[in-house]
Structure formats: structure tokens, C-alpha cells
Amino acid sequence: MANVETPPLTAATIQTTASRPAPEPAALTAAEIAALALSLAHLGAGPQSATARRALRHAFDHLDPGDEVVATTLSTLTAPLDPDTARRARTAAIAITGRLVLRLRYRDAAGRLTVREVEPVTCLVHRDHWYLVSWCRSARAIRAFRFDRMIALEPTDTPARAHLATRYLPFQRRRRVAA
């Protein structure tokens, strides 16, 4: 740790600091929100989790709280995860960081059970659900898998290709390109 000399704290310093207006919060990108969500998943119900979730709520103060999608997503994002989902999120985060393929046992909305190998891109929250966004090797396409439908998520030692999260985030508004 570096030694940093700080000037003594005086009443004039406190008055000057207190009279400055607070900086405007910067809007977060979808990729930044995904990264924060994944980081919060690691905290689970740990000692810093409540403080971190409260800070994340402040980061969203500029959003419209009357927007039902925003309100529901924020509520899901800042609620503690159950232990099984938190464990899956940690497994996904390790694979994303290490660029490793995951083996996923998944039950889709129709109840079909599949086993897939996926190249994880990011995790995100939309409305009431957490998702793992991945390149699905069997479908040869990007897919978003709900964490609550995962039966098992297992790491492998197989390297995954790098995928830019910004290219694959679902649920974000796309800009139309004029023809």
C-alpha cells in the first residue's frame, strides 16, 4: 500500500466540500449493468451485500421508476439470490472470466430437458429473472438461459472463444440503421 500524505481536515475544508453540488450520476451501459449484476451475485447474502445493493439502487436513480420493466428489473437485480442461483452465477462468472465452456443441463419453457455446451458471454437481469447469455454450440447461435430453469451448470476445461457482451445483450433497444 502506498503512503499518501493528506492535508489536515479543517472546518474550512468541510464547509467548502459540503457546499459543492453532488456530481450527476453517469448513465450505465447494458454491459456495465450486466457486470454489476454478476458482481452482486457473488456477494449472495454476505456482509456487504445489502450495502452494495443499496448503492446499485442509487446508480439507477435517473431511470423512470414508473416504467414497469425498469421497476421489476431493478427489484430483481437488488434482491438477494437464493443459494442455488448464487452458486450457478459464481460458476458462470468464473467461466466468463476464464473463457471456459460450460456444460448446461436445462429445462426449457415447454419442459424439455437438454444438455448443451455453451460459451458464456455475460449474465443479466430482465424483469423477474436472471439469465446466462451464451453462445450455444449445438444451436450455433446466441441464447439467453434463465437461471431458474437450469438443472445443473458445470465448468469444463475446454477454452471458449471471446465474445463481446455488447453484441449479444438481449432486451436492449437496437438502433435502426437507415437504408
Residues 54-85 have pLDDT tens digits of 777 777 776 666 778 777 877 787 787 888 88
- Residue 138, domain member (yes or no): yes
Say how far apart CA 88 and CA 53 lie, in whole Å: 19
Domain count, the chain: 1
In-domain check, residue 93: yes
In a domain, 14, yes or no: no
Within a domain: residue 51? yes
Q: Which domain holds residue 59?
A: 27-169
The answer to whether residue 105 is domain-embedded is yes
What region, left, alpha or beta, does residue 140 occupy, with left being phi > 0 and alpha being psi -120 to 50 degrees?
left
> Which helix H or strand E contains 98, and what residues bound it?
helix 83-98
Q: What does the alpha-carbon distance between residue 50 and residue 56 come to, in Å, rounded to a whole number?
A: 10
Segment among 22-26, 27-31, 159-163 with least mean pLDDT: 22-26
In a domain, 62, yes or no: yes
Band the pLDDT of 152: cuts 50, 70, 90: very high
Question: Is 156 part of any domain?
Answer: yes
2 located within any domain: no
